[in-house]
Each structure stands twice: as structure tokens, then as C-alpha cells.
């Protein structure tokens, strides 16, 4: 996703050219391919997400990126820890309710 990386790293000032850079379909005598409403919605939401990411302060983006890297490496460990904490909390609640 080089296009997105350039777009974000330049804070939305640059966008490398691709055919996807066209904002509407251009047809030169050929049949126009229909785009579903679902695909249009996804593209619109993706654009909003990219603009939101680009507008996010650098410190926040760095924090989220670091957290994501950490999560990828420790996803299983984190899930197990969360599950254990939930079990412990549930056990505490049962004890406090006399169950």
C-alpha cells in the first residue's frame, strides 16, 4: 500500500498517480463497469479513515503504531491475560455475593 503510505506521510499533500486516482469513471466508447453501492460505501469510509489518520497528531499515531506492533507480537499472551483477569473478577463477584 505504497500509495497510502505516501499519502499519510505527506499529511495528505501528495497522492501517487494510479488509475484509481480518478474520482469518476471515464469511458471512451466502451462499456462502463458498474460499481456496487457496497463498494462505493467501502471506498468512502476508507477515505474518511485515511483522512482521520492523516489528521491525527504524530505522537498519537506513533503510540497507536507501537501498540499495534506490540499487540501483533503478544496477541495470544494478551488474550490469555484478559481472559484470566475476567475469570478472577467473576470469581471475586461471586464470592462477594455469597455464591
pLDDT tens-digit series, residues 2-46: 777 888 888 888 877 776 666 776 677 777 677 788 888 888 888
Residue listed under C-alpha cell 469513471 = 25
Q: Is 4 exposed, middle or buried (0-12, 13-18, 19+ CB in 10 A)?
A: middle
pLDDT higher than threshold 60 for residue 96? yes
Report the distance separating Cα 21 and Cα 8, nearest Å. Answer: 15
pLDDT digits (tens, 9 = 90+) for 42-70: 888 888 888 888 888 888 888 877 777 77
**What pLDDT, on the 0 to 100 scale, is given for residue 89?**
83
Report the distance separating Cα 2 and Cα 23, nearest Å. Answer: 19
* Percentage of residues in the chain having pLDDT higher than 70: 80
Residue listed under C-alpha cell 471515464 = 26
Are the C-beta atoms of 3 and 15 separated by less than 8 Å?
A: yes
Residue 99 has which C-alpha cell?
A: 455464591
**What pLDDT, on the 0 to 100 scale, is given for residue 36?**
83
Q: Look up the pTM and report it.
A: 0.36
Are the C-beta atoms of 25 and 33 separated by less than 8 Å?
A: yes
- What mean pLDDT, rounded, does the chain reach? 78
Mean pLDDT for 68-95 is: 73
Amino acid at each position: 500500500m505504497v500509495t497510502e503510505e505516501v499519502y499519510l506521510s505527506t499529511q495528505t499533500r501528495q497522492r501517487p498517480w494510479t488509475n484509481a486516482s480518478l474520482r469518476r469513471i471515464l469511458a471512451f466508447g466502451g462499456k462502463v463497469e458498474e460499481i456496487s453501492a457496497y463498494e462505493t460505501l467501502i471506498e468512502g469510509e476508507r477515505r474518511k479513515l485515511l483522512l482521520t489518520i492523516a489528521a491525527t497528531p504524530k505522537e498519537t499515531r506513533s503510540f497507536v503504531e507501537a501498540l499495534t506492533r506490540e499487540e501483533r507480537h503478544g496477541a495470544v499472551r494478551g488474550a490469555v491475560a484478559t481472559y484470566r483477569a475476567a475469570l478472577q473478577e467473576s470469581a471475586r463477584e461471586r464470592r462477594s455475593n455469597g455464591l
